[in-house]
Structure 1
Amino acid sequence: MNENISPHSSSSSFVPIEEHHIQDAIQVINEAKEFNPNLLDYITKSTPSASNDKKYHVISVFGSQSTGKSTLLNRLFNTNFDVMDETRRQQTTKGIWMAYAPTVSNTKHLKSQNENIFVMDVEGTDGRERGEDQDFERKAALFALSTSEILIINVWETQIGLYQGANMGLLKTVFEVNLTLFGKAKLNKSNNHKVLLLFVIRDHIGVTPKENLASTVTQDLINMWDNLNKPNELSHMKFEDFFDISFHTLGHKVLQPENFANDVQLLGDRVINKDNAEYLFKPQYHHEIPIDGWTLYAENCWDQIDNNKDLDLPTQQILVAKFKCDEILSNVYEEFLLKFNEQHLIKIPKLNEKLTDDIDYEDLGLSFIDLKNDVLENFDVSASRYNQSIYEQKRITLIGKLNDKFKEIFEAYAQYLLGNTIKLFTNVLNSGKRNLPGKNFQDGVVSLSNKYTQEYSKALKFLSLGGELDTTGYEDKLNKQVEELISKQQLIELNNTINKSVKKVNNGLVKAITFELGDLKDDTWDTILNKFNQLTKEVLSKYESSTDEYDFGLGTSDKLNNLAIESFKFKSWVNFYDSIHKYILKDGLINILQDRFDDKFRYDDNGLPKLYENSTELESSFEKAKKFSLQILPILTRAKLSNGKDIKPEYDIFNKHLKQKYTTINETEQVQASYTDSEDEDEEISSDSFSIIVNEEEKQLVLNKFKREVDAKFVETKRSIIQHVTQIPYYIYLIILVLGWNEFMAILRNPLFFTLLILLGGAVYVMYLLNLLKPAMAVGQRMLDEALDIAKQKLKEFVIDDPAQHGHNLNKISNKKSPTEEIELDDLNN
């Protein structure tokens, strides 16, 4: 036989069940009233097909000790329950055992059956081993009655008519409690569930007919039921509403072995043969739940039965055990307090205290456990001699007191450890994303938080007395603070990411604006807007995880990510507006117009300086240049597309609510407005103002100033033309050539002068080929004019009719210094 399945029902250990020897039994409830959690595993391995349907039956046997209950079950259901040694009359079955019936003995010797049958063998009643303690046998009988379809009551023929011998007293108590616990379900008219009480009368020799015996038992049960203390709402219930009664007799096992075997087979026919007129299993007996549900039902029933205080009356021995265990508990606890205060209480660290040595939490936790185990060992030595249940109760009480005391020091260490962990986590978190493990911020903080929370949980586990002290609260507190720190850092990183993205868009936009301002066209603003949209789209594509969903790799929520995207777009439009007004100012606008005017007025299409021959040519060029310059004025004063529509941002960037909402990303969906009602009354800038770069008033000022500037240039250029027209006549140069012929010839004959002449002539020829003669002449003329102007000014200063000025000029000519200058020189020398 497998060692894992004890064949001895006297064993109280719960053992697992192997796949073979499935006819062996499993202990459902042991002597300590503990329900076996492995019951479902046993049933599943015994009959796998039964775990998912209702094709099963449960039969229990109940009766006095040593009346052959286990023998009957083994002969009828081919089970392997432990039976009594016939030479010694003592208790064999302890607790409640269950076994699967592989076959049922019958007259036709059939080896198979359509339905699975489970048999429960209940500890016998009125045994000398338990003595006066009838609590378990009452609870066991009630459990069997509440969970079985058929309750076999095993009695001797000689016990019929007796009260205690036939277990009538115990049945009465069980019926009362069963009615209290489960009777209310009968108020539902649709509930027709019953239990069959099958009285198996042993050693029936035939003198008294079975019918007479059945009549006696039936009358006793009905009388007993009528005298029950029923609840008011169940007082009308009859015995027949809860139970059916059936009887079967067996011959004497020793004196009539053949009759006994045949009677057992006849009983088997009633169990498996549905065509038998006395077939036992009826639909109303079944609980109508799958077998795995039955195990849960049975466990719940036992829990209700076992915790019913009416069935657990303390005796004087229990009262003595309570008193002595309390006394022992008090003594060992006082000894514990002395050691606890000496070894641990004085070493508790304070919050924010810097310890010179690191705490070894594993060693500290082991010292806690050692101290606790020493106390429990001292208690066990003295208290285990008394009532087992009271001893166990008081031991649990002592454990609770010890845990409460250790909890005080545990909380101090946990709080100290929490502060240090948060400090370390904050330092690493604030050091920047580069110092975090993982590919991105989200992976980094998850890895970092897991590291510190696991270290914290590990240290707490060492101090938790092997898990008896609850660490969940502190772990939750750490997780909450870590989440708050991560949330704050997420917002910081998210704002930094948005600001960097906005800066990137702004840099690209500034380049586009400055480039377009150098070559203004009708579609300039179309180009700038397209560039802006392209830049924003490129940034958004980096963080786009799916359609209309974005992920910054920070672990932030979709709601916060969407708010960040809105903030990015809003700030980008604000920067768009600021960049326009930064590079297109009122004064800068005049410079742009003047540069454009100069490009057209002073230079030709090839970029060469223009030389005007007459006033007509000058005036025509002036009008064209001015018109050319003023063509861009509408482009520079209003951001308007080529289709005539103004550029309008996606957001009202002048709205104070939106500014406050999108300036800095917060966890709240909207930021409450902080300005007062008086601020609300201030003049709001219209969203249409985005496209207005220079208003009409400023535009008119720019236009007037531009006209003044270009008019001055026109006058200056026209003056130079007039000076050129009033120059020396050409025939004078002919006269000079004739009169100075000898001098020219002298130059030609002189090698030095001739070389200079060749160089000068070559330079003139090169300028002619390059079409630079006119510009060179204009430059020379300009230099000559400037030299003449300076000479005239100096001559005017010299001959001016002002004695003081005249004296000053004479002093400058003679290099004499004024008294003031001499004093200043003296001061410098000193």
Structure 2
Amino acid sequence: MSDDLGLPPPNVDIEEPVEVSAASSASPAPNTLQPLGSASPTISSSSSSFVPIDQHHVQDAIQVINEHKQFNQQIMEYIHGATLPGQIVGNDYHIISVFGSQSTGKSTLLNRLFNTNFDVMEESRRQQTTKGIWMAVSPEVSTTSSKKSTENVFVMDVEGTDGRERGEDQDFERKAALFALATSEILIINIWETQVGLYQGANMGLLKTVFEVNLSLFGQSKLENNTHKVLLLIVIRDHIGVTPLQALAETLITDLNKMWLDLSKPAELSHLKFSDFFDVDFHALHHKVLQPDEFSKDVKLLGDRLVVKKELFKPNYHHQIPVDGWTMYAENCWDQIDNNKDLDLPTQQILVAKFKCDEISNGVYDEFVAKHHGLFDDKVPGENVDYEQMGLAMVDLREDTLDDYDTSASRYNQTIYEQKRQALKEKIHAKFREVFDVHAKWVVETGVGQFATDIKKLKTRKDKSFFQGAQELEHKYVSLINTSLQLISLGEFHDSEVILDVKARFDAVVAKQQVVEMKAIIGRALAKIDAGVSKALQQELASPDDQTWERVMARFHELLAEVKARYAGTGTVPDFGLGTSDSDNVAGVERLQVQAWVALHSVVHRVITRDSVLQLMKDKFEDVFRYDENGMPRLYQKVEELETSFGAARKQTQQMVPVLEEMRTSEGAVVPRYSARAMRAAGFGARARASDAASEGSDDDSNSDSDDSDNETTPTPFSQVLSPADRDHVASRFKRETDAQFVETKRLVIQHATHIPYYVWLVMLVLGWGKLVAILRNPFLFALLLMAAAGVYVLHSMLMLRPAMVVVSRMGDEAVVQIKAKLRQVLLDTEDDPAQVHGARMAKMGGHQR
């Protein structure tokens, strides 16, 4: 949206001067095509003839329709040459057209926005530049982003309206505008700000005629719930901001809606609204000559809306036609438009045959779809469906539909009739194929899904093994799927391949479920071990001693023995009850034991960290240093007493570190019963190796090298809980914090131990006897003295006198600090005032003189 720029709007937009090429100066004979030859280096959009595509040169633009209403057959060659080699565009493209009065800067706008090279009007004279309709492939859309856009945008430059060259002959203008509407996703309507509100100046009369014909040609599709629309992007040129863009937009929308209401509509289309066919958006541009920088910025902002923000291109604007078929679609549209009766509408027999055969085909196909829906769609696949009767019903329905079409359509052109019949037959087969695919997919997916669901329930059954139950289920569902697919395949489906595929899928489900169950069993066992060890360890940390790890390891072995006993089986080989092989069962128990040790290591390192150890030591120190054996707070009276208690508390607390830094029992350091390789495979030490993972190779040939490197480095012992660095860190932190606590406590003891000598009180009593007598004789002061004495007594009796004195002392200290800060601020402010400084100096000098 443009702001107020403070510049008057010019009447015209002077386009960039260009040099007219030789192609533009040479005009061919009317209604003739230039014979094949070499393409000129620059193809001018003012040229009125078709130039063949040179395979060694890609031209800037190609004329789609010349001023003689001839359609160019070489458009696809140009598109293939202008796009990237080997690029498959498919549906990934956009068509944008521009429409507006002659000499309003349409080509200039396209060149600036899409970096095309359409011819523009010479600066020295005003005349028609673009003749017919031209197309160019945008190499890049101009945006404010530094990243190049990758959108495939095809731009059509339409001959301007209201030109003096054509005069009152508006036939081509109407057809060109209708063609642009029929083939484009976005139609840019280029008008000046001064044209807003005008009827002829804003091409409202021409648009009204075009909308009427567009409604008659394409309105029928809207009755079939067609959601396709065209975006009318109204670009307002030379916008100075005096009238807000919102107000201009409201004026134009009001004019368009009023024009739509005044259209002559067929009765069946009278309910359709303007918004059913078109969306409208607006964008304003500053003056290109007077405000070139703002103009360029506005153009780039429009490019942002197209390809960066993607707010203008919508899926329902696209015709969903691959680019290879767009030429045929565009040519057919032009044929219909060019041969329109009011605007030369087609009346030839071939076009009538196409229309009526399509109408009959659509009618019988709609009846087919309705019957199809009643026969097949409402039935849920697999629920009591007779697939044999379904196959017979497909054949009967297809023949009945084709007979109905033959009865009504055989009277028209035979070629068109046969083409449309074949197309109808293909649509019917496609619909039947959908039925087959849905039912076959449902049968297979439902069978496999139900099998996967049922196999999960086998673990709760005790009358048979998991493997036996899985085999019975597999045979049941394979037979069901085989029977159903044979009935609906009509001999076109190889059921043996399906059975093999289903068999493989069932085997995969069984194997997957065995793995899942094995992991779940091991996971539950490990969770139990984890919780038990964690609880035991938490209890031990309350008061660790030399027997801490003895008790923790005893609890660990007890939990491990419990979970192993659950899956001991009847013989020497364990049995998880999954029907897995003996080797898998043995491997499962082995994996359980290895992962149990890994879980033990994980729990210990999760509970005992350097931060948790530091906190434990601090809590232990607090308990010993600040509280006595009875749990009462300690009140230190002497420094010697404080130092003795502090040393004992620190020594007692530091005894925790040797216990917690290593898992050690009476037999020595705790060592797992499995190799380092097995422990690493189970996840042990994964965090320590995470930083080295990027440098290790994954090839089998590098295994020996990895083993050698493992032997050369000293691994971290399993029993180590705190590394030397962690231990030093904890000791250092603990020492600093306890030292600080000791210093603070000692300062308070010394401060409270300091007292005034008794003779000072005697001197004060003698010297202040007069004041004391005055206070005693004054009832008010005597009452205050009694209240103060009572308060002191109460504090003394509650053992709160010293804390109260500390509070009063600190309040006094804080008051002194605040007073000093205020005095300092006043002095600094006085020094900053030159007049006060000068006055102070003069007063000082006067004092010296006196």
TM-score normalised according to structure 2 size: 0.38
TM-score normalised according to structure 1 size: 0.39
Bigger Cα Rg: 1
